Structure 1
Amino acid sequence: MNFLREVMDQGRRVTVDVLNGGGIDNDSPWSPEVPEDLREWLPDLFDRFPIVFPWHHPTPVDPALHTVWLLDNTAFRKPKPGDNRPDLADLQDANATDPKVRTESSGAMKPAQESSGWAVEFVACYFIKNSGKNLAHIVAEISHQLNVRDEDIACKKRIASRLEPFIDSVLPKHTVRISIQGREEQTLGPSSHSGISSSLNEIHFAPPLTAMTSNPLTIPPPFGLPCTTVMADEQGWGVISDIDDTIKITQSTDPLGVLANTFTVENPAPVAGMPELYAHLSQILAQPPFFYLSASPYNLYSFLRRFRDHHYPQGTIILRDASWQNLGGLVASLNQNTKAYKDDRITKIHSWLPHRRFFCVGDSTQSDPEAYGEAARKYPGWIKGIFIRKVSGIAQLNEKEKNSDERFERAFQGLDREMWHVFTDPAEVKERIEELVVRQR
């Protein structure tokens, strides 16, 4: 019986690879390869990619069968004539999104006519509800690896809950109708082979100037996750921030440490002093848009969103696509090609808000200094300050190299020395940013 199951599983894997493998890889260009040493002892997740035949047409999601997450985002003003932005993605065609707005007089929906001048990238993640196979087996396997006691039922439930977005099958070639602030409806999708849709959509009503909410029309919570859109006008300040070991304590590059911090910790802890710093930044920078840029996979979105909501200002959490078929991809995401991935995402943020002034906050464990330094040189005047938290106490981290003066000098070569600062106490950042803000007035 086990032999037959293995043969069928292998046949299914080959079928998925033949029909959809190229599409999955193309849809997730920043998804890292999983090293063989991780594949050998971490669970396979290949069931998360269903077989999709080429002749399948996009279909709407089914509320009884599917889960849809809308990821928080940031709206921006469309470029005025002469404002050339070569990196800005094309706006979604209205024929595909079928925008309809609600009339104030009758409350009826009618086809949208004019743009409000605002645009926003909607990212949606599509899953087949409760489809993860062998969840109990994988929970038991992870629990064993992390030495979770059999009687610790609460911890095992927590592991199961956080594993579910990694194990549930993704949902390609589907669309979802969303309501934007109760004033407009648009269609998102179709979802890619990796179960994600991403599109730059215009808004066709006068939105509130602070924030607005969108939700999947047919899928209410908890299976339909709404999103908050922060409105960011052309001028002002902005903040780009890393997550792990910058604002959230991770303190590990070891696979077991990463798994423990992801699946067993009841409430992840913020880095001391950083919630107070970000609250202060929100105040002195007049509620700037925050972009929380992480190399973690998108499967952790709901987990990281709860952490942000508990400790930090509202903002867009930007995470990696994930096409890997083994849980080792979670570990690989935090260590492979992080700079190239962050370079690409920072370029996207610049294409949305090139006329704002940004502060960047990161840490020394990965590639934040190099990514921020390159962005500051690529877009002169856009980034006004870079702040790197010097991390210590991680056994697997080569602290001498990661925290060396020579590394930071190389990363920020050609930049004004007053522009960047390596810190251990967040109070240092507060003082420096206050000085820079005064200097820019």
Structure 2
Amino acid sequence: MTRLLPLLSNLRLRFGLGWTSPTPVTKGQEVWLFDNTAFPTPGQPGKWSAEFVAAYFQEDSGERAARVVAEIADQLGFAGDDEAESRIAERVEPFLNMILSRKYVDVMFGGEAGEGGVNGGEGVLKLGPAARHGISVNELVLPGEGYVDDQIVESSAVLVEGKATMRTAFAEEVGWGVISDIDDTIKISEVRNRISLLRHTFVDLPTPVPGMPELYQSLQSRLNKPVWFYLSASPYNLYPLLRSFTSTHFPRGQLLLREMSWMELQSFIVSLTIGTQRYKEERIRRAFAWLPERKWVLIGDSTQTDPEAYATLYKEFPERVGRIWIRAVKGVDEAEEAELNSQRRFERAFEGVPAHVWRTFEQPEELEKSVRELE
């Protein structure tokens, strides 16, 4: 394992990145567009805005990584397992493809290029340019008016070849919202065990934490279709995997992932354990700013700093954070869990937060009464 991460890093570091003038996506280059949530534009009645995220990279530039796949399979005990090696190859490629900085792409909002749709197919948005880590983030006012809460609009990139699509869900100012962590809150990841984390990420089929899909469906019904955000310290490299997982098992929502460099897989391990509290606090504040009249349920787990981050947000926005629920994760590392799940840790983290606002749980069924109490 000690050879594995440097191998992946060194393979990618051989690519150099220049800092040039922005250029459009061209043949042989790929774009990922990420689903997003639209919100009413402040100070512009009838208009809506949304944060658009796109990732740019050289298509198939990581295909010649057979030795990396073989190394991962050997280290994790899956050498010779064709099915496992196929999944490893698919999931590791985004970490090996060469990232593209200073790229931009046009997106036909509400339709495909040259076709009808909302705005008669004329609403083109320019995304970019990508930063050094190959990701562009643009908060834009949407073309057209007359959108309504819970509406879904699909869009596509105007590309030289291939197709990149996304969906925008509209959320009005009032109502409820849920911000949920992913790893070890709704998805079994075992982030406190490096080998297990890599196995769950690159080999295993993603598995929901038992009982959490049912809990989230109860919230979806009880809160009358709240807006959903899934917050993770994982890098955008894992977007296709996590989007498929969340949309299959949970109410659809926007993924909020870490805007990391795609050049070092080793950073993936670091991203899940270092600086997560500040990162999550900043991302939640941004979501709160998009929908300032919504009330929120924050759901996380004990493996990282979710209790401390969520408590900080409550103290800043006591009228807006309605509930905080923390899953106490057990069975991965008993020595660490003795402290991570201790009552002392939770009482210290939630000092100053009313007792009715926060609670911990091991099984989702324990929250049935708490869900019924929401109004």
Whether TM-score is above 0.5 comes out as yes
Q: CA RMSD in A?
A: 2.1
TM-score (norm 1): 0.78
Corresponding position: 1:228 with 2:193: no
User: Letter of the aligned partner of 2:233 in structure 1?
Assistant: A
The residue correspondences of 1:73-222 to structure 2 (distance < 5 A) are 73-80=36-43, 116-132=46-62, 134-150=64-80, 152-182=81-111, 183=118, 184-206=123-145, 207-209=147-149, 210-218=151-159
User: Letter of the aligned partner of 1:170 in structure 2?
Assistant: I
C-alpha contact (below 8 Å) 1:47/1:133 kept by paired residues: no
CA 397–229 in structure 1, closer or farther in 2 if over 3 Å, else same: farther
C-alpha contact (below 8 Å) 2:38/2:49 kept by paired residues: yes
1:20 matched residue in structure 2:
none
**The 10-residue stretch of structure 1 (199-208 or 312-321) with the greater mean CA deviation from structure 2:** 199-208
- Mapped partners of 2:134, 2:233: distance in 1: 18
Question: 1:98-134 deviations in whole A, cap 9, x for unaligned?
Answer: xxxxxxxxxxxxxxxxx84110000001111011264
3-state DSSP of counterpart to 2:351: coil
- Mapped partners of 2:337, 2:281: distance in 1: 24
Radius of gyration: which is bigger?
1
C-alpha contact (below 8 Å) 2:178/2:226 kept by paired residues: yes
1:47 matched residue in structure 2:
12
User: Letter of the aligned partner of 1:47 in structure 2?
Assistant: R
Identity %: 40
- Mapped partners of 1:337, 1:407: distance in 2: 18
- Mapped partners of 1:53, 1:402: distance in 2: 43
- Mapped partners of 2:272, 2:354: distance in 1: 30
- Mapped partners of 1:397, 1:212: distance in 2: 48
CA 52–401 in structure 1, closer or farther in 2 if over 3 Å, else same: closer
The residue correspondences of 1:288-327 to structure 2 (distance < 5 A) are 288-323=226-261, 325-327=263-265
TM-score (norm 2): 0.91
Shift of 1:246: 0.5
Question: Which of 234, 237, 257 is 2:176 aligned to?
Answer: 237
1:33 matched residue in structure 2:
none
- Mapped partners of 1:423, 1:376: distance in 2: 19
Shift of 1:435: 0.7
List structure 1 runs of 4+ shifted beyond 4 angstroms. 37-42
User: Letter of the aligned partner of 1:43 in structure 2?
Assistant: L
CA 185–116 in structure 1, closer or farther in 2 if over 3 Å, else same: farther
CA 397–57 in structure 1, closer or farther in 2 if over 3 Å, else same: farther
Gaps of 5+ in 2: 112-117
CA 424–219 in structure 1, closer or farther in 2 if over 3 Å, else same: farther
C-alpha contact (below 8 Å) 2:301/2:326 kept by paired residues: yes
Q: How many residues align?
A: 363
Shift of 1:430: 3.0
3-state DSSP of counterpart to 2:374: helix
Question: 1:24-64 deviations in whole A, cap 9, x for unaligned?
Answer: xxxxxxxxxxxxx688755225636853444x3211101x3
C-alpha contact (below 8 Å) 1:243/1:293 kept by paired residues: yes
- Mapped partners of 2:335, 2:242: distance in 1: 23
2:338 matched residue in structure 1:
400
Corresponding position: 1:339 with 2:304: no
Shift of 1:308: 0.8
Question: Which of 15, 19, 22 is 1:58 aligned to?
Answer: 22
3-state DSSP of counterpart to 2:224: coil
CA 120–397 in structure 1, closer or farther in 2 if over 3 Å, else same: farther
Which fold has the larger relative contact order, with Cα–Cα distance below 8 Å and residues 6 or more apart in sequence?
1
- Mapped partners of 1:268, 1:411: distance in 2: 30
Question: 1:393-436 deviations in whole A, cap 9, x for unaligned?
Answer: 01266111111111111111111101111111212223212213
3-state DSSP of counterpart to 1:310: helix
Shift of 1:290: 0.6
Gaps of 5+ in 1: 1-36, 82-114
Question: Which of 381, 384, 408 is 2:322 aligned to?
Answer: 384
